[in-house]
Structure 1
Amino acid sequence: MSTPVVFIHGLWLLESSWDRWAEFFAERGYEPVQPGWPDDPETVEEANAHPEVFAGKTVGQVADHFADVIAGLDSKPVVIGHSFGGLLAQILAGRGLSRATVALSPAPFRGVLPLPISSLRSAAPVLTNPLNRHRAVPLTFDQFRYAFANAVSLEEAKELYETYAVPAPGAPLFQAATANLNPWTEVKVDTDNPERGPLLIISGAKDHTVPWALSNAAYKQQQDNPGITEIVSVERGHALTIDSGWREVAETALAFVDRALGRSDEGMSPASN
């Protein structure tokens, strides 16, 4: 039986952002699962025509949604998530629901303390207006260029924006921004659960939205877990799952998953920076 791989997208993207990854993992014997967030539209065009469907979704609601998806699978999956999807992947792993987890440029959780200026600027289109907590917020091209596509050419940035960008719920960003002030926040990870399994964090060296300081702080929160915990840096921006360098990033994720599941001759290695 093929091992399921659940792909979780982040804000301003749809599950279709994982299509090439899903095909890549399927070709290597895995069973890709792309559930999307609750009520996600089918297409980017539909999403941009009806932004209201994204409003109001919280981290806890979405995490429970994916937990339900996993409960319906025939076997425990690998979980791969990007940005807020990377945060959700770590939450699910902390619940013991993942055989192995890859979090790419993951959004921060309670206990991750750095506040890089570039991250604040990336989140500003949402956080500068408190009313956005209950709204769906699109990005302009210039905002997308800074937050996602700063590491690619202008031409590629425009193509990525037209192909993938959709509105996003504001609530998760407000939750993340206040996580360290709220003991009851939904934006928390059980970093000590011995059932968490192996975890790889992939950081984009050119990422404005989740720079190395945030990814490394998330790694340090989890490095004492009994499961193997690794972090690597790649020369990409926040669009590392969708830009022209996606395959190299996917190969890095696949190599870790193969080792974690014993599908290669390599032993699990210690964390590498």
Structure 2
Amino acid sequence: MKIANPKTIVFITGAFVSHRCWDPWIAFYESKGYTCIAPPWPFKDAPAADLRNRQPNDNDLARLRFSELLDYYVTVVKEMPEKPIAIGHSLGGLITQLLVNRDLVLAGVAIHSVPPQGVSSFSWSMLRSIWKPLGYFSSKNKTHLMSLNEWKYAFTNGMGNEEQTIAYHDNAIPESKRVLRDTLTKVAAVDFNKTHPPLLFIAGSDDNIIPETLNYANYLKYDKNHSVTDYKSFNGKNHFVLGLPFWHDEADYILSWFEILQH
């Protein structure tokens, strides 16, 4: 499936991380001639440290629902001068899949993506990573901030202690438990048999919170007969893939994928 020459990219952030994690990616793609934006989620347009200081009584963020977040990004892409490419990480990857499913973007890239409703994993590493954030035994009226130890396991496993700590202080922010729980409901459902714009899944072999097997199961759900749906896994990549020293591996691969789609 050939697509028009893409000019704009909207980067969609996942849960628990600041939208500033996309800054190096924006610089890279803008150097290649793209116009890029990475809009923060509602109630998250502040430095990571400021958002952490609001924990746990950030009432606006605690009340946020996934349907509102999805509507927010739908509005963002509809207001752009042309159909963009969407690149989303983690929960942003799920939003990307939903935008692709609604034919609102030229193409989509889902990096270590949270799966749509009905795609599940019984991986112990995933269950261990998400149990506290879902917070079924705590108040949904309070946000959840990963502890440093939670972060080290779910995001930065395999990295040195100093690197993990720096990554936490630069990026980690509180999250709405309602948003996370909503991703298990029909608001996060995808029609896997529907014709859709090109979609690329990227996975990492060392991701604890979104295991490689879960990404591949998500990919397999799509009907490949009528739409371009591709998959690529990278060895040694954890969930902090956007900020790893070798994030160019994924960024370069995505750029090559764009070029293939144009020919």
Same fold (TM over 0.5): yes
Task: Kindly state the Cα deviation for residue 42 of structure 1 after the two structures are TM-superposed.
Answer: 2.1
Aligned match of 1:97 = 104
Whole-angstrom CA distance in 2 between matches of 1:13 and 1:233? 22
Aligned match of 1:190 = 191
Equivalent pair of 1:123/1:173 in contact (CA under 8 Å): no
Alignment of 1:1-273 (within 5 A): 3-51=7-55, 52=58, 53-176=60-183, 178-179=184-185, 185-194=186-195, 196-224=196-224, 226-235=226-235, 236-260=237-261, 262=262
The verdict on how the C-alpha distance between 1:40 and 1:149 changes in structure 2, with shifts beyond 3 A counting, is same
Aligned match of 1:182 = none
Equivalent pair of 1:101/1:198 in contact (CA under 8 Å): yes
Equivalent pair of 2:198/2:227 in contact (CA under 8 Å): yes
Equivalent pair of 1:2/1:31 in contact (CA under 8 Å): no
In structure 1, the gaps of 5 or more residues are 180-184, 268-273
Where 2:242 maps in the other structure, the secondary structure is: coil
Equivalent pair of 2:133/2:146 in contact (CA under 8 Å): no
**Larger deviation: 76-85 or 118-127?**
118-127
Task: Kindly state the Cα deviation for residue 225 of structure 1 after the two structures are TM-superposed.
Answer: 5.7
- The superposition leaves residues 111-145 of structure 1 with CA deviations (integer Å, 9 ceiling, x where unpaired) of 21322111110002223434343321101111000
Task: Kindly state the Cα deviation for residue 241 of structure 1 after the two structures are TM-superposed.
Answer: 0.8
Equivalent pair of 1:132/1:171 in contact (CA under 8 Å): no
Task: Kindly state the Cα deviation for residue 242 of structure 1 after the two structures are TM-superposed.
Answer: 1.5
- The superposition leaves residues 138-165 of structure 1 with CA deviations (integer Å, 9 ceiling, x where unpaired) of 0111100000000322221111111111
Whole-angstrom CA distance in 2 between matches of 1:250 and 1:191? 26
Equivalent pair of 1:160/1:243 in contact (CA under 8 Å): no
Whole-angstrom CA distance in 2 between matches of 1:204 and 1:4? 26
Letter in 2 for 1:49: N
Equivalent pair of 1:137/1:167 in contact (CA under 8 Å): yes
Whole-angstrom CA distance in 2 between matches of 1:153 and 1:258? 36
In structure 2, the gaps of 5 or more residues are none
**Larger deviation: 15-24 or 34-43?**
34-43
Pairs aligned (count): 255
The verdict on how the C-alpha distance between 1:2 and 1:208 changes in structure 2, with shifts beyond 3 A counting, is closer
Task: Kindly state the Cα deviation for residue 173 of structure 1 after the two structures are TM-superposed.
Answer: 2.3
Task: Kindly state the Cα deviation for residue 56 of structure 1 after the two structures are TM-superposed.
Answer: 2.2
Where 1:102 maps in the other structure, the secondary structure is: strand
Letter in 2 for 1:123: I
* Aligned-pair Cα RMSD in Å: 1.7
Whole-angstrom CA distance in 1 between matches of 2:245 and 2:218? 26
What is the TM-score with the length of structure 2 in the denominator?
A: 0.91
The verdict on how the C-alpha distance between 1:2 and 1:96 changes in structure 2, with shifts beyond 3 A counting, is closer
Task: Kindly state the Cα deviation for residue 59 of structure 1 after the two structures are TM-superposed.
Answer: 1.9
Letter in 1 for 2:145: P
Whole-angstrom CA distance in 1 between matches of 2:17 and 2:191? 26
Letter in 2 for 1:9: T
Letter in 1 for 2:175: A
